[in-house]
């Protein structure tokens, strides 16, 4: 995710350089002599292919026209034909032409124009996990056919994808030596309710997702897993509570 932050910072600077006035969206009432002020900025979207990404922007005052733009590198922005509403929708595709595209909106009134902050569309391959699912033939390809265990998802996951895990408590196996062994380049995210279509919609605070080493007698630590999670290279583990490991 550090690459996204770096690119976002660069694109904000470039937006200023090429002539878009800044907009803080501070909540103050816009005066009639002001260029448009933005109260709601578009946000990044990370979602599977064939899902619809919706970017939106909101102005503090009326009398504003909208023009959405897209960019690959951030230095050149091109208008999107017929994208002249406060929201813009695009169907995510696995083609590289649809991945890592940045979008922004130019808001214009009779005084001048303001550019929104840029937002990135990232198309990802997702494997789903939900302990409440009772699918006879789970394949992890959707929430309705999610794997019931994170171990199964990790075992079957190829490189360069994301695992989305719904709220619940997950244990790595039945012996003290068992562990959630992460895979290189496979990112694992918890905190989902089990119906989200893009990653940024998850809520780890309210959808508590626990990786637990409490595999034996409940609350009896001496028979818990030695290591609940075993790390790997180039991975993200985010949105989890890790608990009840007990190494000798």
Extended strands (E) in the chain? 38-40, 45-48, 52-56, 58-59, 65-71, 78-79, 87-91, 101-108, 113-115, 119-124, 126-129, 161-166, 168-170, 180-181, 186-192, 209-212, 229-230, 237-238, 241-243
Cα separation, 182 vs 157, whole angstroms: 10
Q: Please name which of 107, 90, 108 lies closest in space to residue 99, comparing C-alpha atoms.
A: 90
Stretch 10-14: mean pLDDT, rounded? 43
Phi then psi for 132, rounded to 5 degrees? Answer: -85, -5
Residue-level pLDDT at 165: 98
* 130 half-sphere exposure, CB direction, 13 A CA radius: 21
* 114 half-sphere exposure, CB direction, 13 A CA radius: 24
Residue-level pLDDT at 100: 74
Q: Please name which of 153, 166, 171 lies closest in space to residue 194, comparing C-alpha atoms.
A: 166
- Exposure string (b/e) for 63-86, b if CB count within 10 Å is 16 or more? ebebbbbbbeebeebeeeeebeee
How confident is the model over 38-96, as pLDDT tens digits? 999 999 999 888 889 999 999 998 899 999 999 987 779 999 999 999 999 998 876 55
Alpha-carbon distances, residue 248 vs 178, 213, 229 (angstroms): 15, 14, 16
Show the CA angle centred on residue 158, arms to residues 153 and 164, nearest 5°: 40
Stretch 163-167: mean pLDDT, rounded? 97
How confident is the model over 97-151, as pLDDT tens digits? 556 789 999 999 999 999 999 999 988 899 999 999 877 788 999 999 999 999 9
Q: Please name which of 199, 125, 194 lies closest in space to residue 162, comparing C-alpha atoms.
A: 125
Residues present in the chain in total: 248
Q: What is the radius of gyration, based on Cα positions, of the chain? A: 22
Contact criterion met (CB below 8 Å) for 149 and 131: yes
| 213 Rama class: left (phi>0) / alpha (psi -120 to 50) / beta | alpha
Global pTM value: 0.76
User: Which band of pLDDT confidence, cut at 50, 70 and 90, is reported for residue 14?
Assistant: very low
How confident is the model over 198-244, as pLDDT tens digits? 999 999 999 999 999 998 777 778 889 999 999 999 999 999 999 99
């Amino acid at each position: 995710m550090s690459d996204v932050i770096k690119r976002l910072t660069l694109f904000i600077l470039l937006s200023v350089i090429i002539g878009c006035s800044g907009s803080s969206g501070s909540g103050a009432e816009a005066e009639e002599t002001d260029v448009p002020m933005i109260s709601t900025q578009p946000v990044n979207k990370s979602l599977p292919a064939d899902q619809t990404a919706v970017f939106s922007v909101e102005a503090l005052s009326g009398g504003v026209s909208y023009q959405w733009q897209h960019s690959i590198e951030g230095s050149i922005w091109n208008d999107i034909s017929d994208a002249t509403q406060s929201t813009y929708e695009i169907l995510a595709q696995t083609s590289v032409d649809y991945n890592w595209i940045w979008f922004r909106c130019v808001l214009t009134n009779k005084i001048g124009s303001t550019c929104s902050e840029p937002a990135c569309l990232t198309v990802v391959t997702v494997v789903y996990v939900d302990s409440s699912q009772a699918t006879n033939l789970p394949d992890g390809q959707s929430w309705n056919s999610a794997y019931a265990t994170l171990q199964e998802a990790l075992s079957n996951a190829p490189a360069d994808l994301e695992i989305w895990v719904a709220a619940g408590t997950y244990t790595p196996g039945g012996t003290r030596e068992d562990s959630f062994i992460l895979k290189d380049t496979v990112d694992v995210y918890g905190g989902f309710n089990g119906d989200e279509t893009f990653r940024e919609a998850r809520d780890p605070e309210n959808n508590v997702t626990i990786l637990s080493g409490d595999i034996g007698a409940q609350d009896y630590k001496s028979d818990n897993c030695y290591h609940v999670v075993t790390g790997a290279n180039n991975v993200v583990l985010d949105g989890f509570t890790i608990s009840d490991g007990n190494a000798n």
